[in-house]
Chains A and B, each alone.
Chain A
Amino acid sequence: DVKVTQSSRYLVKRTGEKVFLECVQDMDHENMFWYRQDPGLGLRLIYFSYDVKMKEKGDIPEGYSVSREKKERFSLILESASTNQTSMYLCASSSGTEHGYTFGSGTRLTVV
């Protein structure tokens, strides 16, 4: 069964810390995405990548950066965590939009 794996289900970090969220897919997909999910707001795109070392900003990139050094791995970085970044973070991958996205189980991040 194909998979998108997010390294942590729950994470608690302190304000100002640098936070790394890891995502790995085993489907050889070119495209990978990071979303955050908040009640009433649905999913909002933070960053996406369509190839190794390529990245593009989504709708809410402020306060985040990403890294894609290998095709299967897409990392989301919170440079200096703040309480308003407390959220559920979802990673997804795709071989093409017509196939839809495959999502990971999510990382619930709490910044205190």
Chain B
Amino acid sequence: AQSVTQLDSQVPVFEEAPVELRCNYSSSVSVYLFWYVQYPNQGLQLLLKYLSGSTLVKGINGFEAEFNKSQTSFHLRKPSVHISDTAEYFCAVYRGLWSSASKIIFGSGTRLSIRP
């Protein structure tokens, strides 16, 4: 069965420092990969996605992620974080062999806290 592992439950970072949120998935077939962000008291919002093509994917709010097939990873990065990036981040994977109704599997989340 496919799964998603977010290696860090919490990541504290100083403002304007770079950050990397780690995500590994298990699957022997082609996948779609996603990162979502959840701000306090809100639903999830799509940050970026990898479907195929270039392994470096750029998303909203200055975030980017790199798909690494050999390491089955999809780490999220930002070169300089802001206080407004404080949120919980979810990595998600879909194994693209099913119908359009098939489900996306979510990781357990990484809480990013920005210190001034």
One of A31, A33, A43, A45 near B100 (C-beta < 8 A) = A31
Q: Evaluate contact between B103 and A50: CB separation under 8 angstroms.
A: no
Quick one: closest B residue to A108, CB to CB?
B41
Specify the main secondary structure of chain B where it touches its partner.
Answer: loop
Interface string of B31-75 (1 = CB under 8 A from A): 010101000011111100101000000000000000000000000
Cβ-based interface call for A98 (8 A): yes
Q: How many residues of chain B are within 8 Å of chain A by beta carbon?
A: 26
Which chain A residues border B99 with CB–CB below 8 Å? Answer: 50
- Assuming the A-B contacts A31-B101, A43-B106, are A98 and B45 also in contact, with contact meaning beta carbons closer than 8 angstroms in the complex? no
Binding site for B on A (CB under 8 A): 4, 30-31, 33, 35, 40-43, 45, 48-50, 56, 58, 90, 92, 94-98, 100-106
Binding site for A on B (CB under 8 A): 9, 32, 34, 36, 41-46, 49, 51, 90, 94, 96, 98-104, 106-109
